[in-house]
Chain A
Amino acid sequence: MSRQSLTKAHAKISELTWEPTFATPATRFGTDYTFEKAPKKDPLKQIMRSYFPMEEEKDNRVFGAMDGAVRGNMFRQVQQRWLEWQKLFLSIIPFPEISAARAMPMAIDAVPNPEIHNGLAVQMIDEVRHSTIQMNLKKLYMNQYIDPAGFDMTEKAFANNYAGTIGRQFGEGFITGDAITAANIYLTVVAETAFTNTLFVAMPDEAAANGDYLLPTVFHSVQSDESRHISNGYSILLMALADERNRPLLERDLRYAWWNNHCVVDAAIGTFIEYGTKDRRKDRESYAEMWRRWIYDDYYRSYLLPLEKYGLTIPHDLVEEAWNRITNKGYVHEVARFFATGWPVNYWRIDTMTDTDFEWFEEKYPGWYGKYGKWWESYNRLAYPGRNKPIAFEDVGYQYPHRCWTCMVPALIREDMVVEKVDDQWRTYCSETCYWTDAVAFRSEYEGRETPNMGRLTGFREWETLHHDKDLADIVKDLGYVRDDGKTLIGQPHLDLDPQKMWTLDDIRGNTFMSPNVLLNEMSDAERAAHVAEYRANGTKVA
């Protein structure tokens, strides 16, 4: 289509909307934001006549690559260390995708300006595309990769696993609570604009370095839809900024959304990229280096900072603190070690680390060996069953952590842990901001104003509570993380597929699992104070 006819087509499509006079669309999802003063903007409409063939073309390339990968025996050169983490990642990500689809009517309801409704509805279709294309990729892995265990129970595992629940925020957060907080600030302004670059570009690039070129094919194709989504979100953000009354809410939501995305996405993607790779070239970018480029420079400096000209206070302190946690406080390393500690209740296997890995970590994160090296050496030593218990139940100088009530990643930077009684319960938080999110932001009143539409933190937020005081073998069995011989675990602390070297239910029986939060709430004030002081002082106990 010529530019002129394109312009005419856009104008014609705009004629499809009208001002209702008999009844207005039901408001299913409320917001405390107001859009009365929102300027009329006329973003480009997506013309379905171009949209469908364009996406079909992209799909044909993806499906062609999938056929090619199978015919070309791609799995003969895929690193198992890498693909095991995809059992976790690909169990999570189709849910955020489909949730993004579900979020679109919330944004449509909340923003009365019909000019943007078309773009949001098209985004809905994109997100159905993303969710189902990712499920299909996962199915291919299940069929073609040496160890299908974990892929085969993927959606069940996602729904009953501690890590699945952490990931589920990135999804439920899009579709619940204040419609603008959820479907605009959390989903688009932060998750899509900031973090899809690490999720859908940086991480798949690392897959290629580990012999898997399908992940990049699929995810780059997904990412190519994101620029439209980002501009949908930006239009709504500008509309919200037109009304002074929205400012405190925008500032609240940017703080919450930024910090929660950092806690969740950097934990997961950081771990996959740093601990899931076999590529230890010294000149390959570390996650911290990628983060500096994609998040700090491209998002913070180029997208967030310019919003200040609209008088918006952006969370500089939280951006700097996220960077500080990644570079100085070992956030990603702590998370990886936590995942590895919990290996019996995982549905993927986690490789041991070698001297080459140690050298790379020390080069990229000076001081790494002193802090984590000993622990990973213990992990290697305790990898096989028979002589020892799973590492979580051996004394290797590591105390099983408290979980953050808000982001549900544990309070791993121990000196930062916040402990408060909230809603009549002693809760632990990984950081001041996660405490603020629960105690201040997700409430029906904010800075003296009613915020009835703001969401709530609900559910059994500490996973361990559900399994408190049970035998580890029974927990794993209940979760269903057992292979088809009825006894060998899906999760293993090494990659050896020799059945003699794989842990079974019998090997882990006799270890009782205790919930840190249940125990904390049973303590007297004095016991709790002493416990918390010790926890904060602890960091890594040297064994």
Chain B
Amino acid sequence: MADITDQKTRSFPKLEFTDSEAGALDFPSSKSRTYNYYKPAKLRATMYEDVTVDVQPDPDRHLTQGWIYGFGDGPGGYPKEWTKAQSSNWHTFLDPNEEWEQTIYRNNSAVVRQVNLCLENAKRAGAYANWNHAWVAFIQRNLGAWMHAENGIALHVFTSIQRSAPTNMINNAVAVAAAHKMRFAQDLALYNLDLSEAGIDFDGAAHRDVWQNAPEWQPTRRTVEELTAVGDWAELTFATNIVFEQLVGQLFRSELVMQIAARNGDYITPTIVGTGENDYARDLAASRNLFQLLVRDEQHGAANKELFAQWLSTWVPKCLAAAHALQPIWSQPAEKTITFATSLDAAKDKFRTLLEEIGLDIPKELDQ
């Protein structure tokens, strides 16, 4: 038998029954079990509101000592002057997707599983072997170029915006959009890697030169780079999610790739690009709500409307130029099931509807 007499005495904290659970006693506030420093949008606070509202403080709400650090050339915190858009209460914006820790990881993991499954099946089924030469080239060049745009927007548009908006609700929604874009850009890149290892005539390095030099893609690259140079966070959100994504992003993803892939024997690409479309639909819902609120603002609505009209007149021509430059890629696939004009009209129609929902006039530039 083992001798246990000289074992070192281990020391443990003593647990004690304290009866410290809710309801054990009645006393003032013993039933005060809701966050009471903000008014929820509906009768009951949502989980999203509870974990988001007022985490970024605001001198207009409870912050009494003000921001305790400033920038060398101006106040610290989240100055409202970082955009020309104005709101009588920025805090009314709530993310319609109610994103927080749990939704971010659940939703994105679900997408990851879907994409992985799709790619595994494609490999097993030898799905790429049936692609015709023109389609291989189309994906190699164009989806390859596009993934740069997604990545640039992730890192230098949405990641950047979430430092600047005056509430936690806006900033978190934008941070989630950045996560979406980063995941989607990587999915496209890793798809590109799969294709270059699929034993077909696919050049995995071609995308760089297309993005950097191909004439049809240069106006798109220019627009993305110009977006990243915008300092006003609301303009950047507007120009990216309302204008660029509609007239260029959706044009390419929904009105071209999603429409023609199947007819070209490709059922893999739509699954992957579809996840990006789905992300965008969510992120757009948030942007739409934000700009709708600003247009409907009793105090500042008129000024905002004017401001957004200016932004439209700046960004619609740039994005249309990018769209038109892309026209040649419509004739690259063997099966040309849709014309550029049809695709662009569809994109413009959706864009008009979106502007109407927000409450903005259709800019004359759209018809040029």
CB of B358 within 8 Å of the partner chain = no
Contact, CB under 8 Å: A26 / B64: no
Stretch at the interface among A33-41, A136-144, A509-517: A136-144
Q: A12-B190, A155-B57, A460-B64 are in contact. Are A22 and B226 (CB under 8 A)?
A: yes
Contact, CB under 8 Å: A23 / B225: yes
Q: A124-B178, A125-B175, A456-B71 are in contact. Are A98 and B56 (CB under 8 A)?
A: yes
Stretch at the interface among A69-77, A298-306, A374-382, A415-423: A69-77
CB of B171 within 8 Å of the partner chain = yes
CB of B341 within 8 Å of the partner chain = no
Contact, CB under 8 Å: A143 / B18: no
CB of A25 within 8 Å of the partner chain = yes
Contact with B along A71-90 (1 / 0, CB 8 A): 00101111110010000000
Q: Considering only CB atoms and an 8 Å cut-off, how many residues of chain B contact the other chain?
A: 107
Within 350-396 of A, Cβ neighbours of B (below 8 Å) are at none
Residues of A within 8 A of B47 (CB): 136
Name the residue of chain A whose CB is nearest to the CB of B16: A77
Name the residue of chain B whose CB is nearest to the CB of A55: B105
Residues of B within 8 A of A20 (CB): 225, 228
Q: A22-B221, A152-B36 are in contact. Are A98 and B168 (CB under 8 A)?
A: yes
Q: How far is the CA of A156 from the CA of B53 in the complex (A)?
A: 11
CB < 8 Å neighbour of B108 from A48, A458, A460: A48
CB < 8 Å neighbour of A9 from B100, B160, B190, B207: B190
CB of A52 within 8 Å of the partner chain = yes
Q: A75-B21, A145-B20 are in contact. Are A177 and B13 (CB under 8 A)?
A: no
> Size band of the A side of the interface?
35 or more
Contact, CB under 8 Å: A49 / B229: no
Q: How far is the CA of A20 from the CA of B63 in the complex (A)?
A: 41
CB of A17 within 8 Å of the partner chain = yes
Q: A125-B179, A135-B51, A456-B69 are in contact. Are A16 and B225 (CB under 8 A)?
A: no
Name the residue of chain B whose CB is nearest to the CB of A26: B231
Q: A12-B190, A18-B212, A53-B112 are in contact. Are A30 and B16 (CB under 8 A)?
A: no
Name the residue of chain B whose CB is nearest to the CB of A210: B13
Residues of A within 8 A of B152 (CB): 18
CB of A243 within 8 Å of the partner chain = no
Name the residue of chain B whose CB is nearest to the CB of A467: B64
Q: A9-B190, A169-B69, A459-B65 are in contact. Are A77 and B15 (CB under 8 A)?
A: yes
CB of B124 within 8 Å of the partner chain = no
A405 to chain B, nearest CB (A): 11
Within 124-174 of B, Cβ neighbours of A (below 8 Å) are at 147-148, 151-152, 154-156, 159-164, 168, 171-172
Name the residue of chain A whose CB is nearest to the CB of B53: A155
CB < 8 Å neighbour of B175 from A23, A128, A173, A176: A128
Residues of A within 8 A of B226 (CB): 22-23
A418 to chain B, nearest CB (A): 19
Q: How far is the CA of A165 from the CA of B101 in the complex (A)?
A: 26
CB of A484 within 8 Å of the partner chain = yes
Contact, CB under 8 Å: B29 / A147: yes
Contact, CB under 8 Å: A28 / B20: no
A180 to chain B, nearest CB (A): 13
CB of A309 within 8 Å of the partner chain = no
Stretch at the interface among A234-242, A426-434, A495-503: A495-503
Residues of A within 8 A of B69 (CB): 169, 172-173, 176-177, 455-459
Stretch at the interface among B73-81, B244-252, B344-352, B360-368: B73-81
Q: How far is the CA of A209 from the CA of B222 in the complex (A)?
A: 59
Contact with B along A274-288 (1 / 0, CB 8 A): 000011010110000
CB < 8 Å neighbour of B67 from A155, A176, A279, A283: A176
Q: A12-B192, A284-B13, A499-B28 are in contact. Are A47 and B55 (CB under 8 A)?
A: no
CB of B281 within 8 Å of the partner chain = no
Q: How far is the CA of A120 from the CA of B50 in the complex (A)?
A: 27
Name the residue of chain A whose CB is nearest to the CB of B144: A15
List the 3 closest A-B pairs by CB distance, nearest first.
A156-B37, A209-B13, A75-B21
Beyond the given pairs A103-B163, A147-B27, 15 more chain A to chain B contacts, judged by CB atoms under 8 angstroms and listed by A's residue number, are A16-B151, A26-B229, A48-B179, A48-B183, A121-B155, A129-B101, A136-B50, A148-B33, A154-B37, A155-B38, A155-B54, A159-B63, A160-B64, A456-B76, A499-B28
B interface list, Cβ under 8 A from A: 11, 13-25, 27-38, 47, 50-57, 61-73, 75-77, 100-102, 104-106, 108-109, 111-113, 115-116, 147-148, 151-152, 154-156, 159-164, 168, 171-172, 175-176, 178-179, 182-183, 185-187, 189-190, 192-193, 204-205, 207-208, 211-212, 221-222, 225-226, 228-231
Cβ contacts A to B, 21 pairs, < 8 Å: A13-B190, A49-B190, A59-B102, A98-B56, A102-B171, A118-B182, A128-B176, A131-B55, A135-B52, A145-B21, A146-B19, A152-B29, A154-B37, A155-B38, A160-B64, A178-B72, A211-B16, A451-B72, A455-B72, A488-B28, A497-B27
A interface list, Cβ under 8 A from B: 8-9, 12-13, 15-18, 20-26, 28-30, 47-49, 52-53, 55-56, 59, 63, 73, 75-80, 83, 94-95, 98, 101-106, 108-109, 117-118, 120-122, 124-125, 128-129, 131-133, 135-136, 139, 142-149, 152-160, 165, 168-169, 172-173, 175-178, 208-211, 278-279, 281, 283-284, 408, 444, 451-461, 463, 466, 483-485, 487-488, 490, 497-499, 502
